[in-house]
Amino acid sequence: MSGFVSFVSSGPGDPELLTLKAVDRLRRADAVLYDDLSAGPILEHAREGADLVGVGKRAGRPSPRQDHVSRLLVDYAATGARVVRLKSGDAGIFGRLEEELIALRAAGIDHEVIPGVTAASAAAAAAGIPLTRRLTARRLQFLTGHDVSGVLPGDLNMAALADPGATTALYMGRRTFAALARRLIDAGLSPDTPALLAEAVSTPEERLSRHSLTGLAETAGAQPGDAPALILFGPLAEED
């Protein structure tokens, strides 16, 4: 007897940004394994009586091991349950989706992936700017700010990241941004490149602040805080 797993992307936090398909799967699930950033009002869409299991990972906090999360998915589905794995943002963007897909495939469990609004899109919308701009920002790139050890990855393509014609969305990079900014400037990106820090985007605690590349590098890591943060830099639209 085998159940079914739906990887549901919950978006950046605002429950109104859930897709209709995401809400449907939550309402029909027997169990919901959710990330920390998917908790709160989003879980109100889960049906009464469903098992709600927190399996989120947050920097600097005790977190479940990835193999434990994958094992829970397999064990729940093996009972015939309809399972939702609720992931923040879009499940396929820096969400450890692949490890969990591999575990389900190895166990022969059917599954689906439901896309959602990623934090970069929500941050740009909140700031009233486009991620791409005709003639000046023809390329968009997503980057993680740390590797498995928590430091800035050492194998970054600096030529691509320092491209003045690209918009870069940096996930989980507030603590390492100063080091990244130094490398970007060394690679030729202007210190005056616009940068946007978006904290807790799409939630009541949302905070947006605009900087230059060097200005944000001086302040980004000073008071990291607990709010999830995303940084956009590149040819962003000017503030009115």
> Active-site positions?
35, 57
Q: How far is CA 66 from CA 34, 91, 96, 149, in A?
A: 13, 15, 8, 15
> How far is 32 from 72, CA to CA, in rounded Å?
11
179-207 burial string, b = 16+ CB within 10 Å, else e? ebbeebbeeebeeebbbbbbbbbbbeebe
Q: Which of 31, 20, 8 is nearest to 82 (CA)?
A: 31
> How far is 169 from 230, CA to CA, in rounded Å?
7
Concatenated DSSP letters of 69-120: HHHHHHHHHHTT-EEEEEESB-TTSSS-HHHHHHHHHHHT-EEEEE----HH
List strand residue ranges (DSSP E) for 88-240, in order: 110-114, 139-144, 166-171, 194-199, 207-212, 229-233
| Residue type for position 21 | K
> How far is 82 from 128, CA to CA, in rounded Å?
39
The answer to whether the beta carbons of residues 79 and 109 sit under 8 Å apart is no
